[in-house]
Amino acid sequence: MTARCIMVLGTTSGAGKSWLTTALCRHYARQGLKVAPFKAQNMSNNARAVALDNGQGEIGSVQYFQALAAGAVPDVRMNPLLLKPERDTHSQVVLMGQVSEELTKMAWRGRSLKVWPQIATALDALRAENDVVVIEGAGSPAEINLSSSDIVNMRVALHCNAACLLVTDIDRGGAFAHLYGTWALLPENERALIKGFVLNKFRGDATLLAPAPQMLQELTGIPTVATLPMWWQHGLPEEDGVFDDRSVAAVAPLRPSLPLKPGPGAGAYPGTVAVIAYPRISNLDEFQPLKNVPGVRLQWVRSPSELAGLTPADWIILPGSKSTAADLAWLRAQGLDAAIAQHAGQGGAVLGICGGLQMLGEALVDTHGIDGNAPGLGLLPLVTVFDLVKTVRHTTVVFGSPCGLEPTTATPWAALAGVTVSGYEIHHGRTAQHPAMAQAGDMAHAVLPDGLGWCNGAGNVLGVYLHGLFEDPAVLQALFGAAVPTLQTVFDGLADFIEQHFEAGVLAALLAPAPCDAASVYPLAPI
């Protein structure tokens, strides 16, 4: 088979490409079609582990979720190039799931020529195995300063002769200018691939938009095929992980779930979960399920004042980091180290995940120049030594009892005792008991095997290497006493939403066979 390719382009970043691509994956899968997502290049520190022939690799979290929405097994070919920012002007390059030191050192434009053949091969392989490939672009396809080295937008669209939708965020204003300007900056052969405009995040009466859509069609020949209402509570993780009060307790309204109440044996139910938002935060999408728990307020924290109102029942989470030592230095510069220590000293719950676990210890030791040496926060008597080899794998383990505490103990982490949890690891380094502190009698308590999880003697400070805790139904049941809406519920809600708001017949028409092979009509120019 050779799949029909449908591509979602945007007039800007944040226009709605990711969630619309996810919704289309679920919609076409519900038609009985074999569907795969694709994004040639993603820039994000949110990544997931996927299987490789020789082990495991990583792809962007968004493509991972899109694969699940499509009912497909996540595959490195779905996101062949992943850029993980480490500094403002530097990113780690992951090609086909593996870190490439050669590409990491290369200049941006020179890298494009090097990686395009592998990107095209990955896309062609997915086309050969599926009925539909739903492709997500990046940023805007009309970035004329980048068009000569484009490997993620129109070069991809031309390669597979994709039927393209161009989506814009009408809530920002200037939507019709954005659509027209993007169309106008594209060469004629690329314009020909755009089959419809989509207005996203609209508030109010859609009839008041007239006559603008008709005027735009007269100018461009392209119809506006959907006006999508503003929808903050769809329940899908935002690609950049932005949390605010508009999205607290998000439940897909088209497929609601029952209200939650802490059940017998559940942990201390928090009112606020405060996530420390350091500059190189990573894998923050794993907290989306907490946004879906009614009564829980998920809050970004960047200053001590934002922690001032917390009670011991509230949680502080130190999430993953792409640059642990640098983010730890930032945390100290803000005075957050003292605020976190004060919360822990009052018996408040603190959780460190991956880089957050490393920060909770006594020291970071880096003899290879991977991340940097630094003193830790000293809330757990541990030391982390960074390794050259990056650990990327799925892991299933059973929680031991934190310090022998019973599940009914006030600390929420005691409720995890005996729970089997599945998650994933993406980290450099290994963490172990600090030997000198052990000799002095200051011991951390291992709650997961192989150095994957530790807690303090009081049981209120927990550090784990395992990402994805809050995506595991067993963990949610233990901590909150009930299940939150599942990802499958969210995916179906997204598909319901677009099926309701797209013009009749548009989604089916996008599957119509392309009239010819775009590659033969529009030969690719050299990068």
Residues noted as catalytic: 354, 467
Bond before 211 cis per omega within 30 degrees: yes
Helix (H/G/I), strand (E/B), else coil: 462: strand
Between CA 56 and CA 39 the distance in angstroms is: 19
Q: Helices (DSSP H) in 151-198: which residue ranges?
A: 154-160, 175-185, 188-191
User: Phi, psi (5° rounding) for residue 359?
Assistant: -65, -35
Between CA 386 and CA 47 the distance in angstroms is: 20
- Copy the structure tokens of residue 335: 């005075």
Is the alpha carbon torsion for 321, 326, 332, 334 positive or negative? negative
Q: Say how many Å lie between the first and final Cα of the chain, rounded.
A: 30
Between CA 62 and CA 346 the distance in angstroms is: 38
Q: Counting Cβ atoms within 10 Å, is residue 100 exposed (0-12), middle (13-18) or buried (19+)?
A: middle
∠ CA(181), CA(186), CA(188), 5° rounding? 125
Q: What is the DSSP string of 202-261?
A: E-S-GGGGTTHHHHHHHHHS--EEEEEEP-S---PPPTT----GGGTT---TTS--PPP-
CB 487 within 8 A of CB 68: yes
Report the DSSP beta bridge partners of residue 315.
273, 349
| Residue that is written with structure tokens 């013009």 in the block | 503
Between CA 302 and CA 308 the distance in angstroms is: 12
